[in-house]
Amino acid sequence: MELKIDNGELKTSMIPEDFTDPQILYDKLIAMIKRYHPSGDISQIEKAYKIAYKAHDGQLRKSGEPYIIHPVCVCIILAELELDKETIVAGMLHDVVEDTVMTSEEIAAEFGDEVALLVDGVTKLTQLNYVADKVEVQAENLRKMFLAMAKDIRVILIKLADRLHNQRTMQYQTPEKQKEKSRETLDIYAPIADRLGISKVKVELDDLAFKYLEPDVYNDLVERIDKGRGRREEFIKQIVSEVDKHIKEAGIEATIDGRAKHYFSIYKKMITQNKKLEQIYDLFAVRIIVDTERECYTALGVIHEIYKPIPGHFKDYIAMPKPNNYQSLHTTLIGSQGQPFEIQIRTYEMHRTAEYGIAAHWKYKENQYGHNTADSEEEKLAWLRRILEWQRDMSDNKEFLSLLKSDLDLFSDHVYCFTKDGDVKNLPADSTPIDFAYAVHSAVGNKMVGARVNGNLVPIEYKLQNGDRVEIITSQNSRGPSRDWLSIVKSTQAKNKINQWFRSQYKEENIIKGKELLANYCKAQGINLYELIKPEYTDTCKKKYGFKDWDSVLAAVGHGGLKEGQVINKLQSDYRKKNPTSPTDKDILEAVNGSTATAGAQQNKAASVRSKNGIVVAGIDDVSVRFSKCCNPVPGDEIIGFVTRGRGVSIHRTDCINMMNLSEADRHRIIEAEWQVSPEGKDNELYDAEIIIYANDRMGLLLEITKVFTELKIDVKSMNIRTSKQGIATINVGFAICGVEALHEVTKKIRQIEGIKDIQRTQA
């Protein structure tokens, strides 16, 4: 619960009580939306509520409440963040696909593709099922989450609201589940909310997770803080009154309020600063909100005239924003009665960003608030792009999880250092010149031989300080980074780039590792590797992945560029084509009855039936066939079918990561499928495809890329462009195409454009 004092009046933010009537909560939701949304049309939300109510009818939560209360409360949290109606509708339906019989296609038909994409994204984050240890499960879940976020950041906003409501009702779970979910909340979800700048959600997630992870510490802290609550509230009222008087006398229009610090924030300071509760100065804070940045500094001068500041307790986050773009002036002062307290000074715009983060800049608000939404969103998502780069660069889930938790670590402070040209680099506390070099560019880090700080030569393990001016000394004769650097550097970016360098340099070691990975994978799956690595099978595998020899394929597996399962699936597919097996009577009977075909029946071309989509599915007649959106197969791709529960067969590429990561329990659902050209002219049908282009950013690049599509008469459906600080442009292009040959023609022509580094097909 958050304490606020506006104009001397005590206020608290309220959370709906348990067992509230769903209709009362829904009416509250609609009232909230109408207060902030420019459109009064709530028909889509009304329809979503009715569908969700009917779909969840008869379902109960652990508390015994009707299940519909959960999606409505999730939508209330989203409405508190003032999100658009599509997000509210998706929040209302986020459990419908997972828990009921309604499909994504039906949601798209009722509410449009945008809502269906959001619901599908949230559903994927909860439907993952891996047979592995918990670290592997968590890492794979996170990989999926960040890919979903990259497609539409609203997916994670819905997921955060879902997690917040679940944490609010955690008392109905078992103690084991309480600790498990709260640890995940504290390690992952609260830091993500922090990185997106949504303090409203972040601080409550922190406190609720703290409550279940350390119940004794939490209750003791609450009791000790509550003992002096009345006295502190009186003190805050007095400070607010004094500050208000002096700010008005200075001719500054401002809103002034007081608030108590959150429990986890206090506990974190006690731990990190090794202090007792009595030594924490800022148990409460006064906030001054003004119109302009100049007035922030004017107000600071006024405050320092009437109260004595405590040395070393002033922070200027306006000139040096936090990594999540938080801006404010913080100063700790001594009150007239000798009581220390904190004052935060910011503009109204800074306050909106601090409270709502990326949600403060949603698309329909641009005209209302005059924001440039694209720029603010890009700044917020710089860290997300970095995480997606890690996903491409590493196959080790445990390494990925370690780097991710390091990057999201709430306890790590930052230092701000300058290049010789005056550019600011924001690095974790205790960073070294090596971290700084890789923050400038990976090529600078790889060629680094020394560093100067403030004009003086320093050792590479020197710990950078705020305000240091750093110059990196490089040499073309450098042999590259040392493995010892991995134990010196602090930033996750530097660790990843150093590991990446070693992966590319040591091909022989990677070949040996690749052989081991393939052998171990086949041993675990009961596959005879020696039957698969004959030239007639490896040659097609090399051609598919664009390698000149088999050793290059092994090296790619060794350093994580290819998954071992991906390669084995391809080899097995070629082996089965040349070594078909005859179906048994049981296989044929199962196929006739519409059951999931077994491996023998899958190989039987005679039993194959063509669907309306131009797909031949082995052993199953009169079946609904749909193309999966995770890998977007097009004619010419090697494909397989997956028998879903109640939704027919979904068609995937054989190298689809979702298929390679299937549990043993689900692998029997894979059936054989292939393309078949229709005599009625179906070969002119268009299919959705998407590629990712990586290129050196330059003037005219986008024009040349779009020119390729225009010349080939290909209809571009979507395009999304992001540019990293290192000048690398990442361009996602979605388009309609007739087959894989046309796709190869597109990529061939784009590769001829100056500055193109790589082109990949997308994978969910």
Inter-residue contact 125 to 95 (CB < 8 Å):
no
C-alpha 640/C-alpha 597 separation (Å) is 12
Both structure tokens of 326: 């938080």
Strand arrangement of the beta sheet that strand 456-458 belongs to: 456-458, 448-453, 470-474
Classified as helix, coil or strand, 721 is strand
Closest of 686, 731, 728, 726 to residue 704, by C-alpha: 731
- Is there a contact between 575 and 532 (Cβ–Cβ < 8 Å)? yes
Q: Is 375 a catalytic residue?
A: no
Catalytic residue check, 204: no
Buried b (16+ CB within 10 A) or exposed e, 281-318: bbbbbbbbbbeebebbebbbebbeeebeeeeeeeeebb
CA dihedral 566, 569, 570, 574 (to 10 degrees): 170
Q: Would you state the structure tokens that stand for residue 219, as one six-digit string?
A: 């209750």
Catalytic residue among 99, 214, 551, 683: 99
Residue type, 90: A
For 513-566, the DSSP string reads HHHHHHHHHHHHHT--HHHH-SHHHHHHHHHHHT-SSHHHHHHHHHTTSS-HHH
Q: How far is CA 665 from CA 129, 523, 626, 661, 669, in A?
A: 10, 18, 22, 11, 9
Catalytic site residue from 18, 98, 316, 688 = 98
Helix/strand number for the chain, H first, E second: 35, 22
Closest residue by Cα to residue 706 from 755, 752, 750, 757 = 750
Distance in angstroms (rounded) separating the CA atoms of residues 488 and 495: 9
226 Cβ partners below 8 Å, 6+ apart? none
Name residue 312's amino acid. G
For 418, phi and psi rounded to 5 degrees?
-120, 145
Length of the chain measured in residues:
764
19 to each of 165, 449, 521, how far by Cα in Å? 14, 65, 50
**In 409-470, alpha helices (H):** 433-440, 442-446
* Enzyme catalytic residues: 98-99
